[in-house]
């Protein structure tokens, strides 16, 4: 894949920019609250009340192979799972804390079975690990995070707390995660919030430079996200819950990027959230992302019983149905060269290795689709879903002569069936000379 002008990464980006589509999993005690992974912060729930979830966490229906099957069937090629979210609860059997899954009714490490199941299914492995920790006794509580953010006792509670001892814990757990589970392909540290008045947290609070060196020492090829508050210590940018207007740039240079998105707004399981995106919206988001040279990391929040709920499974299956016939317009594809003009209501993706241009038709036109500048440059065209030929024509030589320099002189016109193909987003595959 042509990477001219793209900011180089330290991690191995070859699979990342090819695979394009991954599964984010947010799973922790907040799944029992079932009303957003920030519930402890939003409702200012003190530890003693939040511990009810710790005592009740018993995912008896947990079957990571079923999770991996659903992700693979959706066309996802990698997964990123929360090892610990802001609440501080750890899914794996960490030697550095008792606040972990083996000490709940689950009674076992829940991270390792997921890594093994997804790896066995052929997906690459990524870890999300929260820099923030609302449970650790040394984490200095601040005005933005945690259940005590508005507490009059916050300053008293911070007395004796040493953020650097928390940073030691943070580094120790990152070491456990990067040495105990084989090759880790992506690391998603989350998140820094430096503030001019010093009330936030950033590189000094995590000892980010030292942590970055540790990550590179232990997993040199890992793709590292951009939330350590380091100007250069990152491999990819992470727009969240938005669709960028175009290929992301830093200092005018295009960068590797991955948009992370939810089905319904919450990252953790949310029983009552109603604004679930449709399969068509989700497929269009995936296409739109790749058309701008990015990856989509799409999130599921499993339930407290350890399952993907029916709404999530429905969306994953719907995306898989489209990916089954259209994945080659996603994998190995990127933004089309600027010379290819995007037709109205469409998105273009481009595979530079096969020289195939994919026209994703968001609104099915009546009979014709016009592609400026492509006359004489396309060998063949077909509908991707059923490989049925799409007939095309350019202006006749005498017409081109008559039109002279008109932009229509090189207009390629495709003749489409009147009825939209029975797929979520039809795609036309053009074999470019
Ligand atoms: C934000 C949220 C966090 C979520 C993350 C996913 O950092 O704080 O809840 O895990 O986004 O990108």
Task: Specify whether 371 is located in the same domain as 276.
Answer: no
Q: What is the mean pLDDT of residues 220-227?
A: 98
**CATH number, domain at 371?**
2.60.40.1180
Task: Specify whether 241 is located in the same domain as 368.
Answer: no
Ligand 1 pocket member 331 (CB < 6 A): no
Whether residue 199 has pLDDT greater than 90: no
Ligand 1 pocket member 193 (CB < 6 A): no
In a domain, 296, yes or no: yes
Give me the pLDDT at residue 347, please.
98
Q: Which residues are paired to 188 by β-bridges?
A: 128
Task: Specify whether 346 is located in the same domain as 379.
Answer: yes
In a domain, 420, yes or no: yes
Task: Specify whether 197 is located in the same domain as 309.
Answer: yes
In a domain, 4, yes or no: no
Task: Specify whether 242 is located in the same domain as 386.
Answer: no
Whether residue 39 has pLDDT greater than 60: yes
Rg (CA), the chain: 24
- With beta carbons less than 8 A apart as the criterion, state whether 253 and 286 touch: no
Q: What is the mean pLDDT of residues 154-169?
A: 95
Q: What is the mean pLDDT of residues 188-216?
A: 96
Ligand 1 pocket member 191 (CB < 6 A): yes
Task: Specify whether 346 is located in the same domain as 301.
Answer: no
Domain end residue (candidates: 329, 352, 381): 329
Task: Specify whether 272 is located in the same domain as 399.
Answer: no
- Closest ligand 1 atom to Cα of 132: 8
- With beta carbons less than 8 A apart as the criterion, state whether 386 and 380 touch: no
Domain end residue (candidates: 329, 352, 367): 329
What is the CA 104 to chain-centroid distance, rounded?
29
Whether residue 48 has pLDDT greater than 70: yes
Ligand 1 pocket member 240 (CB < 6 A): yes
In a domain, 2, yes or no: no
Task: Specify whether 322 is located in the same domain as 237.
Answer: yes
Place of tokens 């040495």: 179
Angstrom distance (rounded) from CA 333 to CA 427: 14
Whether residue 147 has pLDDT greater than 70: yes
Give me the pLDDT at residue 8, please.
97
**CATH number, domain at 135?**
3.20.20.80
Q: Tally Cβ neighbours within 10 Å of residue 42.
A: 12
Of the listed ranges 47-56, 69-78, 153-162, 297-306, the least confidently predicted one is 153-162
Q: What is the mean pLDDT of residues 203-213?
A: 98
Ligand 1 pocket member 258 (CB < 6 A): no
Q: SS3 breakdown of the chain: % helix, strand, coil, rounded to 5?
A: 30, 20, 50
| pLDDT tens digits along 255-285 | 999 999 999 999 999 999 999 999 999 999 9
Band of the pLDDT at 37, cuts 50, 70, 90? very high
DSSP SS3 for 203: helix
Strands 346-351 and 356-361 turn out to be antiparallel
Band of the pLDDT at 85, cuts 50, 70, 90? very high
- Closest ligand 1 atom to Cα of 82: 10
Ligand 1 pocket member 39 (CB < 6 A): no
Of the listed ranges 59-73, 88-102, 388-402, the least confidently predicted one is 388-402
Ligand 1 pocket member 267 (CB < 6 A): yes
Task: Specify whether 344 is located in the same domain as 207.
Answer: no
| Length of the chain (residues) | 433
Whether residue 100 has pLDDT greater than 70: yes
Phi then psi for residue 48, to 5 deg, are: -60, -30
Place of tokens 């991954």: 22
Which is higher by pLDDT, 153 or 334? 334
In a domain, 1, yes or no: no
Ligand 1 pocket member 37 (CB < 6 A): yes
Whether residue 2 has pLDDT greater than 60: no
In a domain, 298, yes or no: yes
Sign of the alpha-carbon dihedral angle for 407, 408, 411, 417: positive
Domain end residue (candidates: 329, 347, 375): 329
Angstrom distance (rounded) from CA 163 to CA 354: 52
Pocket mutation for ligand 1, best pick of 240, 265, 270 (most atoms within 8 Å of C-beta): 240
Domain membership of residue 258 as a residue range: 16-329
Give me the pLDDT at residue 4, please.
62
- Closest ligand 1 atom to Cα of 191: 7
DSSP SS3 for 401: helix
DSSP letter assigned to residue 328: G
Nearest to 362 by CA among 382, 348, 374: 348
Give me the pLDDT at residue 1, please.
44
In a domain, 8, yes or no: no
Task: Specify whether 368 is located in the same domain as 305.
Answer: no
Band of the pLDDT at 190, cuts 50, 70, 90? very high
Q: 251: which residues sit within 8 A by CB, 6+ positions away?
A: none
In a domain, 361, yes or no: yes
Task: Specify whether 183 is located in the same domain as 314.
Answer: yes
Task: Specify whether 264 is located in the same domain as 373.
Answer: no
Please tell me the distance between residue 413's alpha carbon and the centre of ligand 1 in angstroms: 45
| pLDDT tens digits along 302-361 | 999 999 999 999 999 999 999 999 999 999 999 999 999 999 999 999 999 999 999 999
Give me the pLDDT at residue 3, please.
55
Total structural domains within the chain = 2
| pLDDT tens digits along 377-412 | 999 999 999 999 999 998 777 776 776 667 677 899
């Amino acid at each position: 894949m042509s990477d001219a002008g793209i900011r180089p990464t330290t991690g191995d980006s070859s699979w990342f920019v090819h695979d394009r589509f991954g599964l984010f999993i947010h799973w922790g005690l907040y799944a029992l609250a079932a009303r957003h992974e920030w519930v402890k912060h939003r409702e200012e729930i003190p530890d003693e009340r939040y511990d009810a979830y710790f005592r009740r966490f018993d995912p008896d229906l947990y079957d990571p192979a079923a999770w991996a099957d659903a992700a693979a069937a959706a066309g996802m090629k990698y997964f990123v799972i929360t090892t610990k979210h802001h609440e501080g609860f750890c899914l794996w059997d960490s030697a550095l804390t008792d606040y972990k899954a083996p000490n709940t009714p689950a009674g076992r490490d829940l991270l390792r079975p997921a890594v093994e199941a997804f790896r066995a299914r052929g997906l690459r492995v990524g870890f999300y690990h929260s820099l923030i920790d609302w449970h650790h006794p040394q984490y200095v509580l601040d005005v933005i995070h945690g259940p005590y953010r508005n507490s009059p006792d916050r300053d008293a509670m911070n007395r004796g707390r040493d953020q650097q001892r928390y940073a030691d814990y943070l580094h120790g757990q990152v070491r456990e995660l990067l040495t105990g589970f084989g090759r880790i392909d992506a690391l998603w540290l989350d998140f820094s919030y430096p503030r001019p008045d010093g009330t936030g947290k950033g590189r000094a609070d995590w000892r980010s430079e030292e942590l970055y060196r540790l990550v590179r020492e232990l997993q040199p090829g890992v793709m590292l996200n951009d939330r350590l508050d380091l100007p250069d210590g990152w491999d990819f940018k992470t727009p969240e819950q938005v669709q960028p207007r175009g290929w992301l740039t830093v200092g005018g240079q295009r960068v590797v990027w991955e948009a992370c998105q939810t089905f319904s707004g919450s990252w953790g399981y949310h029983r009552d959230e109603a604004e679930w995106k449709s399969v068509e919206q989700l497929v269009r988001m995936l296409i739109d992302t790749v058309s701008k040279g990015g990856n989509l990391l799409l999130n599921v929040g499993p339930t407290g019983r350890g399952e993907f709920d029916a709404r999530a499974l429905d969306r994953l299956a719907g995306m898989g149905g489209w990916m089954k016939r259209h994945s080659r317009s996603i994998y190995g594809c990127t933004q089309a060269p600027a010379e290819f003009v995007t037709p109205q209501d469409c998105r273009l993706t481009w595979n530079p290795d096969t020289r195939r241009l994919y026209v994703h038709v968001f609104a099915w036109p009546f009979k014709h689709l016009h592609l400026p500048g492509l006359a004489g440059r396309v060998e063949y065209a077909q509908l991707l879903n059923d490989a049925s030929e799409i007939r095309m024509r350019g202006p006749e030589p005498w017409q081109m002569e008559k039109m002279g320099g008109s932009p229509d002189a090189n207009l390629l016109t495709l003749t489409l069936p009147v009825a939209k193909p029975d797929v979520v987003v039809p795609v036309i595959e053009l074999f470019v000379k």
